[in-house]
Amino acid sequence: MSEEPSGFPAQELTDALKEHSFGLHGFELMSKDPYEAVSRVDLLEGSSVMISLSARGYKLESGSEERSNSASMDMHTLYESVEYVLMSVSPLYVAARQSILFAKLEALS
């Protein structure tokens, strides 16, 4: 049985956030070890959240204090992709994502 490379969570989280940077103000890798990486993500709304990646999946670790109760419940949820985490916490990310998808569809027609 082979193990993941020791930098896998950090590299995967960084790559995923870069891919979705259109809907973020920015992000910074805060901690990493062979099993988990954590990044601070600055949302378009002006708040920040902490997102982690481990072998179990993506997880919302913390959010800004003005977040709603329903969003704070998301901190117990594991996500398959960083996209789903961002969609659960940032309406402006969802709007930016939709704009990009519509632009790509228009370019095809």
Q: What is the pLDDT of residues 17-46, one digit of tens each?
A: 999 999 999 999 999 899 999 999 999 999
Residue 97: what pLDDT? 96
CA dist., res. 109 & res. 95, Å (int): 21
Residue 63: what pLDDT? 74
The domains found in the chain, sorted by start residue, are 8-108 (3.30.2280.10)
Neighbour-count burial for 66-101, b at 16+ CB within 10 Å, e otherwise: ebeeebeebeeeebeebbebbbbbbeebeebbeeee
Residue 75: what pLDDT? 67
Residues 68-91: tens digit of each pLDDT: 444 545 667 999 999 999 999 999
HSE on the CB side for 41, CA within 13 Å? 34
Share of the chain above pLDDT 70, in %: 83
| Residue type (1 letter), 63 | G
**Which position has the higher pLDDT, 3 or 37?**
37
Q: How confident is the model at residue 2 (pLDDT cuts 50, 70, 90)?
A: very low
| Residue spans of alpha helices (H) in the chain | 8-19, 69-73, 82-89, 91-108
